[in-house]
């Protein structure tokens, strides 16, 4: 049995939740896919998958095996590509799968990746934007950009890319109709637009010097996508808990105005995540270095606001 090939096939079946779809993607028959997985299960002496006529799902053993198996397969492929690259003069080449939040991916990362690709035209980047907190190992991403912490510190390594500052803002039309809040507690009397992926839920935390206040807002509108909330705020729907990387243009142009600027919101970070089980490949390391150079020490969206005296 070719164990590496069987591991590769198992990972694809687990991702697709289908023997047939995994076979289609790998150029194998369903019977051949099933044979490889069975041989792998026999070697491990453990059942990795539940089979039914409608779907395939991971057993507990399969769930525990998937992440290290996917990492081992990716490392083996990367080692093979490294040999090819060395023979070809170490030019960065091949696929590069990246995942990022929708708002940051479309507003900033797409341009950064395009500029990186111009420097390394033999690369074939694939950028997947999604606000779901996808497991980068399970879904086969080389690099994941995330706002906030690491979901599993043992499986993933992190490199900070940029500070991610939050700001409360609303349209001038909304503030003209409803007034401007002067303290965090005033938010109880306002329509609040809430990002459902905030780890603190509807509890918004504020600080000013030694003072600390927490307001559990009643969300008048909730979305799992920052761009949706951005548009709702610009239409005058309410006060949005925003990031400066998305709000910067509207703040500069005056279509959104900051509120409660004498209170600070928790500082977060944009981070690059990759499997901790292996060193980042040369192309992943080069992309991270490129992003750090573009976003540090002060990210361009914050530079614009600082230059114009905004938040």
What does the pLDDT look like over 243-278, one tens digit per residue?
A: 999 999 999 999 999 999 999 998 888 999 887 766
Check: CB of residue 284 under 8 Å from CB of residue 143. yes
H/E run at residue 91: none
User: Are the CB atoms for 246 and 133 separated by under 8 Å?
Assistant: no
Higher pLDDT, 238 or 56: 238
Q: Is-same-fold flag (91-163+269-307; 166-266)?
A: yes
Contacts of 283 (CB under 8 A, 6+ apart): 92, 93, 94, 96, 120, 123, 142
Tokens 């703040």, located at residue:
251
Least confident of 1-15, 78-92, 157-171, 225-239: 78-92
**Cα–Cα distances in Å, from 62 out to 13, 55, 66, 277?**
11, 15, 6, 18
Task: Tell me which residue of 306, 194, 186 sits closest to 242, measured CA to CA.
Answer: 194
Are 288 and 184 within 8 A, CB to CB?
A: no
- The fold adopted by the segment(s) 166-266 is D-Maltodextrin-Binding Protein; domain 2 (3.40.190)
pLDDT score of 83 more than 80: no
Q: Which DSSP helix (H) or strand (E) runs through 56?
A: strand 56-58
**DSSP summary character for residue 148:** S
Report the C-alpha gap between 148 and 270 in whole angstroms.
Answer: 6
Q: Residue 311: which pLDDT band, with cuts at 50, 70 and 90?
A: low
pTM value is 0.68
| CB-based contact 49:18 (threshold 8 Å) | no
- Matching CATH number, 91-163+269-307, of 3.40.50.300, 3.40.190.10, 3.20.20.30, 3.40.50.720: 3.40.190.10
pLDDT digits (tens, 9 = 90+) for 157-205: 888 898 889 999 999 999 999 999 999 999 999 999 988 876 666 889 9
Please name the residues in contact with 253: beta carbons below 8 A apart, sequence gap of 6 or more.
none
pLDDT value at residue 151? 58
Domain locations in the chain as residue ranges: 3-83, 91-163+269-307, 166-266
Pick the CATH number of 3-83 from 1.10.287.3510, 1.10.10.10, 3.40.50.170, 3.20.20.70: 1.10.10.10
Question: Does the bond joining 115 to the residue before it have cis omega, within 30 degrees of 0?
Answer: no
For the chain, the average pLDDT equals 86
Q: Give residue-wise pLDDT tens across range 27-43.
A: 888 888 998 899 999 98
Residue 213 parent element (H or E): strand 211-216
Burial of 177 (0-12, 13-18, 19+ CB in 10 A): exposed
Lowest mean pLDDT among 130-144, 181-195, 201-215: 130-144
Structure tokens that stand for 220 in this block = 């008048």
Using DSSP's 3-state secondary structure scheme, residue 100 falls into strand
């Amino acid at each position: 049995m070719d164990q590496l090939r069987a591991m590769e096939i198992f990972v694809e079946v687990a991702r697709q939740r289908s023997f047939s779809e995994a076979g289609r993607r790998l150029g194998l028959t369903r019977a051949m896919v099933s044979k490889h997985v069975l041989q792998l299960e026999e070697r491990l002496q453990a059942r990795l998958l539940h089979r039914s006529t409608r779907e395939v799902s991971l057993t507990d053993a399969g769930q525990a095996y998937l992440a290290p198996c996917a990492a081992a397969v990716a490392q083996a492929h990367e080692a093979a590509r490294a040999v090819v690259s060395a023979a070809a003069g170490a030019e960065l080449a091949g696929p590069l799968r990246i995942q990022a939040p929708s708002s940051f991916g479309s507003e900033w990362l797409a341009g950064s990746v395009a500029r990186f690709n111009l420097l390394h035209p033999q690369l074939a980047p694939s950028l997947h934007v999604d606000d779901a907190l996808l497991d980068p190992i399970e879904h086969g991403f080389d690099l994941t950009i995330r706002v906030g912490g690491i979901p599993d510190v043992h499986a993933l390594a992190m490199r900070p890319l940029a500070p991610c500052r939050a700001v409360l803002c609303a349209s001038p039309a909304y503030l003209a109709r409803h007034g401007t809040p002067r303290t965090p507690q005033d938010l109880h009397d306002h329509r609040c637009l809430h990002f459902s992926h905030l780890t603190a839920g509807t509890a918004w935390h504020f600080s000013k010097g030694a003072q600390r206040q927490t307001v559990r807002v009643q969300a008048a509108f909730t979305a799992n996508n920052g761009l949706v909330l951005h548009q709702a705020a610009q239409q005058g729907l309410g006060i949005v808990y925003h990031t400066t990387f998305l709000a910067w243009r509207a703040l500069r142009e005056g279509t959104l105005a900051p509120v409660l600027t004498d209170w600070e919101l928790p500082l977060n970070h944009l981070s690059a995540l990759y499997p901790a089980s292996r060193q980042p490949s040369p192309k992943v390391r080069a992309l991270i270095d490129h992003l750090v150079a573009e976003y540090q020490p002060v990210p361009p969206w914050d530079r614009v606001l600082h230059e114009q005296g905004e938040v």
